[in-house]
């Protein structure tokens, strides 16, 4: 994507880093002065630009600049937290005082407290996460217009648009605690998206596409984003309903990531210690097909989910959650780890570049392998239970026979149980979607219920 970089004051300049560091250190000192036995604090600033264009006309232009600070204090096993957007000395003192007051009225919790000192990050590598970009309002509008125009001009059946949008964001955060940890993270995120409506005698269909990157130069071009959005909308024209049946289901890569998010929800510490997971007592047992490996890659350069430490300052590390289909580890922060009498896995705040290892087949080859079944390209609703594993979601996509798409389908529901679905995965595609924190190729499941007419 060809983009001009315009000079602008960055949020992660030396002065900003020093200011946020001073704020965190001041908060920790104030907490100690107030009698807290331990404390942690985080301060952040961010700025961004977002524009939306519809039918060539500017709809919204939004400039943002935010800042905030949060502190948690511990008096033994009693906890209090408070936050503010005012960085004045008076406001910082009052915020600490408020947190200390709250702590005095809370019950003791023997699992509360900072992360163990020996788990804190000692070395913080540069993960190439910060690429500030300010195209300026006029240029941002021009790029959003170009993406929408590419979509609208591709085919006369593209009759309407929900708009083209471009956004840029950069942020800086400093986290510190009274165990001596102080870490700084600067990051950027830039995106461009288009959503259009296609229409013919069969009716109307909508679809979209987007690109996202930490470095604006690595985004897809506006023309590519717009044309992909149009193609996806056009493919859906003439959609039909399907009779209810049992058949293989192939999740397109951008949707396959949702299956992994359900898995993470079930092995997250909060779900486990609350006995609210269908994977209770599953550690060391088969959960997926035996060829499946799911792992974290927190130190990938420039990736969306990369982090040297979690939101408690705990060092992140590459690790397997699933190896040979067997559950190797949970997803724990310090609190949930203590609840379960285990050790934190460095996942306070979530997972980091969760990846299911891809196979050799692209989407076309996976359809050949499926032979006859449903290719899902859209999911609707949230009928998923982390407690039981029951799964039921509205869907749209394409009916496949002899390995080839026959026609688009809509107004169907796909259902099963996640325990069975994970064990019935027969292939993972090479078409890995890397736009988010969860990275997956298309996933083929051997058999599911498809409910239709």
Domain end (from 213, 234, 255): 234
Beta-bridge partner residues of 259: none
The gap between the terminal CA atoms of the chain, to the nearest Å, is 44
Q: Are residues 243 and 228 in the same domain?
A: no
* Residues forming a β-bridge with 211: 192
- Average the pLDDT over 102-114 and give the result: 96
Bigger pLDDT: 443 or 2?
A: 443
- pLDDT for 37 equals 98
Question: Contact, 180 vs 21, CB < 8 A?
Answer: no
Q: Are residues 244 and 230 in the same domain?
A: no
Task: Say how far apart CA 312 and CA 175 lie, in whole Å.
Answer: 8
Kindly state whether residues 18 and 82 are assigned to the same domain: yes
- Residue 8 forms part of a structural domain: no
In a shared domain, residues 20 and 158: yes
211 and 111 within one domain = yes
Compute the average pLDDT of residues 172-187: 98
State percent of the chain over pLDDT 90. Answer: 96
In this prediction, residues 76-99 reach a mean pLDDT of 98
Residues 284 and 259 in one domain: yes
More confident residue, 1 or 152: 152
**Model confidence pLDDT, tens digit, residues 256-290:** 999 999 999 999 999 999 999 999 999 999 999 99
Quote the pLDDT of residue 453.
85
Beta-carbon neighbour count of residue 167 at 10 Å? 19
Query: Is a pLDDT exceeding 90 seen at residue 2?
Result: no
Q: Residue 118 has what DSSP assignment?
A: G
Q: Which residues contact 340 (CB under 8 A, 6 or more apart)?
A: 269, 272, 273, 330, 332
Answer yes or no: is 93 within a domain: yes
Distance between CA atoms of 424 and 429, rounded to whole angstroms?
A: 15
Residue 210 sits in the same domain as residue 268: no
pLDDT(3) > 90: no
Residue 144 sits in the same domain as residue 192: yes
Mean pLDDT of 334-354: 98
200 and 251 part of one domain: no
- Final residue of a structural domain among 183, 207, 234: 234
Q: Do residues 243 and 230 both lie within one domain?
A: no
Average pLDDT of the chain to the nearest whole number: 96
The token duo for 198 is: 């296609």
Question: What tens digit of pLDDT does each residue of 400-418 get?
Answer: 999 999 999 999 999 999 9
SS3 state at 21: helix
CA distance 131 to 8: 12
In a domain, 230, yes or no: yes
**Confidence at 10, pLDDT banded by 50, 70, 90:** confident
d(CA 131, CA 10): 10
Q: What percent of the chain has pLDDT over 70?
A: 98
The answer as to whether 123 is a domain residue is: yes
| pLDDT tens-digit series, residues 188-219 | 999 999 999 999 999 999 999 999 999 999 99
Same domain, 393 and 444: yes
Domain contains 124 = yes
Length of the chain, in residues: 453
Range of the domain at 290: 239-453
Asked if the structure places residue 4 within a domain, the reply is no
The verdict on residue 140 lying in a domain is: yes
Last residue within a domain, chosen from 234, 259, 280: 234
Q: What is the CATH number of the domain that holds 25?
A: 3.30.2290.10
The answer to whether the CB of 245 falls within 8 A of the CB of 372 is: no
Note whether residue 3 is domain-resident.
no
Phi/psi zone of residue 302: left (φ > 0), alpha (ψ -120 to 50 degrees), beta?
left
Q: What was the pLDDT predicted at 45? A: 98
Quote the CA–CA distance of 67 and 395 in Å, as a whole number.
Answer: 40
In whole angstroms, what is the distance from residue 304 CA to residue 139 CA? 24
Does 166 share its domain with 263? Answer: no
Q: How many domains does the chain have?
A: 2
């Amino acid at each position: 994507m060809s983009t001009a970089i315009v000079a602008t004051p960055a949020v992660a300049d030396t002065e900003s880093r020093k200011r946020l560091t001073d704020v965190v250190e001041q908060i920790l000192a104030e907490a100690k002065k107030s009698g807290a036995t331990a404390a942690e604090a985080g301060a952040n600033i961010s700025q961004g630009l977002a524009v939306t264009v519809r039918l060539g006309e500017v709809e919204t232009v939004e400039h943002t600049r935010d800042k905030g600070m949060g502190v948690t204090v511990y008096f033994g096993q009693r906890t209090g937290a408070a936050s503010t957007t005012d960085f004045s000395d008076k406001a910082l003192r009052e915020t600490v005082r408020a947190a200390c007051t709250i702590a005095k009225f809370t019950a003791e919790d023997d699992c509360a407290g900072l992360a163990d000192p020996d788990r804190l990050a000692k070395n913080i590598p540069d993960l190439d996460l910060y690429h500030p970009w300010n195209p300026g309002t006029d240029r941002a509008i021009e790029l959003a217009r170009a993406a929408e125009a590419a979509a609208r001009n591709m085919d006369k059946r593209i009759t309407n648009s929900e708009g083209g949008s471009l956004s840029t964001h950069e942020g800086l955060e400093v986290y510190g605690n009274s165990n001596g940890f102080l870490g700084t993270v600067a990051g950027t995120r830039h995106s461009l998206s288009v959503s259009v409506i296609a229409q013919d005698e069969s009716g109307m269909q909508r679809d979209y596409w987007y690109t996202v990157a930490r470095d604006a130069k690595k985004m897809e071009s506006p023309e590519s984003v717009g044309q992909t959005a149009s193609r996806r909308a056009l493919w859906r024209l003439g959609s039909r309903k399907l009779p209810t049946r049992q058949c293989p289901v192939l999740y397109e890569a951008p949707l396959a990531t949702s299956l992994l998010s359900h898995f993470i929800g079930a092995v997250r510490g909060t779900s486990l210690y609350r006995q609210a997971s269908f994977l209770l007592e599953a550690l060391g047992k088969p959960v997926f097909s035996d060829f499946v490996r799911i792992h974290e890659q927190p130190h990938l350069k420039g990736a969306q989910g990369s982090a040297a430490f979690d939101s408690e300052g705990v060092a992140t590390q590459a690790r397997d959650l699933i190896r040979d289909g067997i559950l190797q580890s949970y997803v724990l922060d310090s609190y949930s780890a203590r609840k379960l009498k285990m050790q934190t896995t460095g996942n306070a705040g979530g997972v980091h570049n969760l990846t299911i290892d891809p196979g050799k087949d692209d989407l076309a080859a996976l359809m050949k392998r499926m032979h006859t079944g449903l290719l899902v390209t859209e999911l609707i609703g949230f009928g998923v239970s982390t407690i039981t594993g029951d799964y039921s979601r509205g869907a749209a996509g394409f009916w496949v026979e002899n390995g080839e798409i026959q026609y688009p389908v809509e107004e169907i529901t796909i259902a099963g149980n996640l325990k069975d679905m994970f064990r019935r995965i027969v292939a993972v595609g090479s078409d890995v979607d890397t736009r988010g924190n969860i990275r997956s190729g298309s996933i083929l499941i051997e058999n599911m219920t498809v409910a239709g007419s």
